[in-house]
Structure 1
Amino acid sequence: MKAIVSFVVPVLFATAIAEPGPLTMRRNADGPWELVRDGKPFFIRGAGGHQSLDVLVESGGNSIRTWGIDALSAKVDGKPLVERARELDITIAAGLWVAHERHGFNYSDPAQLEKQRKEIRAAVAKWKHEPAIGYWGLGNEMEGPTADGKDDRIWKELEVLAKIVKEEDPSRLVMTVIAGAARPKIEGVKNHCPSIDILGVNAYASAAVAGKAVKEAGWNKPFVLTEFGPSGHWEVAKTSWGAPIEPTSREKAAKYFSTQQIATEDSAGLFVGSYAFLWGQKQECTATWYGMFLKSGEKLPSVDAMARAWTGKWPANRCPRVEKFNCDAKGRAVKPGENVAIVLEVADPDGDKVELQWSIAAESTDRKEGGDAERAPEEKKLAMVSTGENSWSFKAPDARGDYRLFLIVRDGRGAASAENIPFQVR
């Protein structure tokens, strides 16, 4: 019989009725790591965000990831997130925000360091008895999303913070999250942060091979893919004027599915689960690039893809499918007021009647780093003229500039697809 190395923690009791305790981790002496919940293996089928949790559970998900401590008390379906998570039996990777230097924090300033340490300690002390918290997520890309990872001040301070978390709550594992699987970052955590139990990696175009990179860099504890989704707007082809070309809904769905499958099958013994990004909606480069839902609440094909990856089955109601979306203006310049032709083919897997919504917006100019909040450009409804079966046209704006044409296809039953193309008027 193979030896078992276990990290055992006590089960928490929120009431007289026992509830599942925090996650623990264990491995065979020469085998893979696994997480354990309530005495049973627990593989993370998770998503980043805390909206539409009923859809997450229906899709086969079992965990969510948050970034800051305030999210635990955010109202979800009219209740605090932790209460709703308990009802749905969802674990939370509870984020403890660790400051970034690009936001003005100085890791050489003792006063700032001490203030952050007290805030982390207070947050853990406040929430450590909450049964829905599976483990702590200490920091998100605090080394800087574009940094080389060689600043040891940050890793050494991270260890100080990890020790504080474990002093306050010895029952839970602690994860930290880095941007990408660059060797210097992984080595920074490995060499300076022995109190970190789980390494989280945010990755997009390279997400499927992040586990291999983590192992090759010498990490030998559990690994979680903490953000993955479509290729990032910094990783795709651009127009001649520098506008990123967003993947189609179908391309995104395929990327989510393939990443989950490859990461799971090629785990290298370290992989214990993942969090798809983003289970909600946000403005980042565009209003539709990373969100798996529309702002109006409809799910997008990426949700269906994760349901298939998690359960092996498609959901009962699937998103409409954009089979073809060709536009004369895609990636090029047109004249002011020019008529632009479109060929569109849409199919709904369930035979639902679909509704098309067209809009236009100026190209976003409020670009930030690392997912920081961006201001969304104003979208205006666009009048379309049908010119035949599956063919349409619209009039380009009179004002010169950079634009995006947006298309939303809804089935009227909570499912949709979203497409956009960049074009220029000059």
Structure 2
Amino acid sequence: MKLPLILAALTFLDLSATALAQGGPITMQRKSSGGWELVRDGKPFFLRGAGGHEHLDVLQASGGNAIRTWGIDALTATHDGLPLTERAKKHNLTIVAGLWVAHERHGFNYSDPAQVQKQREQIRASIAKWKHESSIGIWGLGNEMEGPTANGQDSRIWKEIEALAKIVKEEDPTRLVMTVVAGAAPAKVKGVKDHCPSIDILGVNAYASASGAGKQVKDAGWDKPFALTEFGPSGHWEVPHTPWNAPIEPSSREKAAKYFATQQLVAEESAGLCVGTFAFLWGQKQETTSTWYGMFLKSGEKLPAVDAVSRAWTGEWPANRCPRIEAFSAPALASSVAPGQAVEVKLDVADPNGDEVNLDWRIAPESTDRKEGGDHERAPEEKPLAMEAAGEKAWKFTAPQEKGAYRLFLYVRDGKDAASAENIPFLVK
């Protein structure tokens, strides 16, 4: 990207310290140009956010000013004895507080009056309980409740979102209400536009197509504020697969580049509508693999995606950057090997700060517990793997005797809470 475009995007994001959260509801207003902006404490407020409720100190240090949760229970999630609401205040972050709206794939029936009424009562009770909490800036009503692979044409869902949004505003007229859909398909955007006048902000979760999501919602007729509510690497459904249908995970460098480019481009492509973005996931989870979407390792170290959004948000790299895996390849990638065969791996690692790094090699069976829409998955057990030097920038290991699909994982740590991670899917047959 050319320097003038980067500088323009950084200016758009309002990087001044005065834009950080001060507490209380966020409002929205039309700019003189006709576009939208959020306002807090009388100042323009662009959401530089992340999804999750961990590592808030790193988020603040990286230039973030907001966090997004998916359910109301997250507000009481504790760390070091403090609930999320107090931790957010400590780190000067505003919360887009999620109000979970049920999915039919989980057994909810939007044609059942009893279930619908019960959910309405739960939403009303949640707002009544939390509406005086100053760390909450916006209500996030639902997440992909239409279904991540749905066509968006089920008007029951959109009509119920409107009913719930009205309840939220009855209980708390001081805060904006955002709802979040999976992707920017025209039918979904139109569903919200036609049936949900009480929704103030349309949130879109998008991955490979994230940088163009703002233009998509605009082209589909949306004319209110828009936020990119999840973005990150290409999704596991959007990448090449092995012959045995294992998705090939992007490298840590590819992921970091994707985060950076998306953060820069989405504001440019949707100027006038975009009021914020939320990187996914500011934490760690098992989804296809243990490293695909998490911006941190389970052991707590940040990954290059964190450095990338920090660079996008602040214009500078953090003082301690993650190790760089310059090259990581093997003939076994997306291929098969014999039981007990020696497998060679090429590796080139560098640390931007000149730190000595530790290589942690692991092996795990391919996940067999794949779910939809980010639902909980069981993580395969990763076991330490003995590696031998096999020449300059080369290593080798012995393939398992048991036939099946596996992944070779590599974790590179600098001992200062920064790391990189890669994996290679291969088949023993």
* The one of 130, 134, 146 aligned to 1:127: 130
Q: Percent identity of the aligned residues?
A: 73
2:238 corresponding residue in structure 1: 235
Superposition TM-score, scaled by structure 1 size: 0.95
Q: Shift of residue 388 of structure 1? A: 1.9
* The one of 179, 198, 202 aligned to 2:201: 198
Is the CA contact 2:226–2:275 (under 8 Å) kept in the aligned structure 1? yes
Q: Shift of residue 391 of structure 1? A: 1.0
Amino acid at match of 2:347: L
CA distance, structure 2, for counterparts of residue 330 and residue 136 of structure 1: 44
* The one of 109, 116, 128 aligned to 1:106: 109
Structure 2: gaps (5+ residues): 1-21
Is the CA contact 1:257–1:309 (under 8 Å) kept in the aligned structure 2? yes
Q: Shift of residue 182 of structure 1? A: 0.2
Is the CA contact 2:52–2:67 (under 8 Å) kept in the aligned structure 1? yes
CA distance, structure 1, for counterparts of residue 264 and residue 401 of structure 2: 47
Corresponding position: 1:42 with 2:52: no
The DSSP-based 3-state class of the residue aligned with 2:256 is helix
Is the CA contact 1:215–1:268 (under 8 Å) kept in the aligned structure 2? no
Q: Shift of residue 29 of structure 1? A: 5.9
* The one of 387, 391, 395 aligned to 1:388: 391
* The one of 137, 151, 154 aligned to 1:148: 151
CA distance, structure 2, for counterparts of residue 173 and residue 116 of structure 1: 20
1:118 corresponding residue in structure 2: 121
CA distance, structure 2, for counterparts of residue 33 and residue 76 of structure 1: 35
Choose 258-267 or 49-58, whichever is displaced more: 258-267
2:299 corresponding residue in structure 1: 296
| Runs of 4+ displaced beyond 3 Å | none
CA distance, structure 2, for counterparts of residue 97 and residue 321 of structure 1: 38
Q: Per-residue CA shift, 1:135-187, capped at 9, x if unaligned?
A: 10000000000000000001001100000000000000000000000000000
1:346 corresponding residue in structure 2: 349
Q: Shift of residue 343 of structure 1? A: 1.2
Corresponding position: 1:284 with 2:287: yes
2:139 corresponding residue in structure 1: 136
Q: Per-residue CA shift, 1:287-319, capped at 9, x if unaligned?
A: 000000000000000000000000000000000
CA distance, structure 1, for counterparts of residue 330 and residue 148 of structure 2: 34
* The one of 403, 407, 411 aligned to 1:408: 411
CA distance, structure 2, for counterparts of residue 193 and residue 199 of structure 1: 10
Within-5 A mapping of 1:207-246? 207-246=210-249
Is the CA contact 1:68–1:94 (under 8 Å) kept in the aligned structure 2? yes
Superposition TM-score, scaled by structure 2 size: 0.94
Is the CA contact 1:35–1:42 (under 8 Å) kept in the aligned structure 2? yes
Q: Shift of residue 20 of structure 1? A: 3.1
Q: Shift of residue 23 of structure 1? A: 0.4
Amino acid at match of 1:287: S
Within-5 A mapping of 1:170-209? 170-209=173-212
The DSSP-based 3-state class of the residue aligned with 1:418 is strand
Aligned alpha-carbon RMSD (Å):
0.8
The DSSP-based 3-state class of the residue aligned with 2:190 is helix
CA distance, structure 2, for counterparts of residue 173 and residue 115 of structure 1: 23
CA distance, structure 2, for counterparts of residue 418 and residue 166 of structure 1: 44
- Residue-pair matches, total: 408
Corresponding position: 1:94 with 2:104: no
CA distance, structure 2, for counterparts of residue 29 and residue 45 of structure 1: 22
Q: Shift of residue 28 of structure 1? A: 3.0
The DSSP-based 3-state class of the residue aligned with 2:262 is helix
Amino acid at match of 1:49: G
* The one of 251, 256, 261 aligned to 2:254: 251
Q: Shift of residue 215 of structure 1? A: 0.3
The DSSP-based 3-state class of the residue aligned with 1:388 is coil
CA distance, structure 1, for counterparts of residue 33 and residue 381 of structure 2: 56
Amino acid at match of 1:77: D
Amino acid at match of 1:214: V
Amino acid at match of 1:120: I
CA distance, structure 1, for counterparts of residue 204 and residue 80 of structure 2: 30
CA distance, structure 2, for counterparts of residue 218 and residue 44 of structure 1: 23
Within-5 A mapping of 1:360-379? 360-379=363-382
Q: Shift of residue 88 of structure 1? A: 1.3
CA distance, structure 2, for counterparts of residue 233 and residue 216 of structure 1: 27
CA distance, structure 1, for counterparts of residue 144 and residue 371 of structure 2: 14
CA distance, structure 2, for counterparts of residue 390 and residue 27 of structure 1: 56
Is the CA contact 1:24–1:37 (under 8 Å) kept in the aligned structure 2? yes
CA distance, structure 2, for counterparts of residue 28 and residue 202 of structure 1: 25
2:65 corresponding residue in structure 1: 62
2:15 corresponding residue in structure 1: none
Q: Shift of residue 268 of structure 1? A: 3.4
CA distance, structure 2, for counterparts of residue 60 and residue 89 of structure 1: 11
Q: Shift of residue 328 of structure 1? A: 1.9
Amino acid at match of 1:375: R
2:18 corresponding residue in structure 1: none
Q: Per-residue CA shift, 1:23-43, capped at 9, x if unaligned?
A: 000013652100000110000
CA distance, structure 1, for counterparts of residue 117 and residue 426 of structure 2: 50
* The one of 301, 313, 320 aligned to 1:310: 313
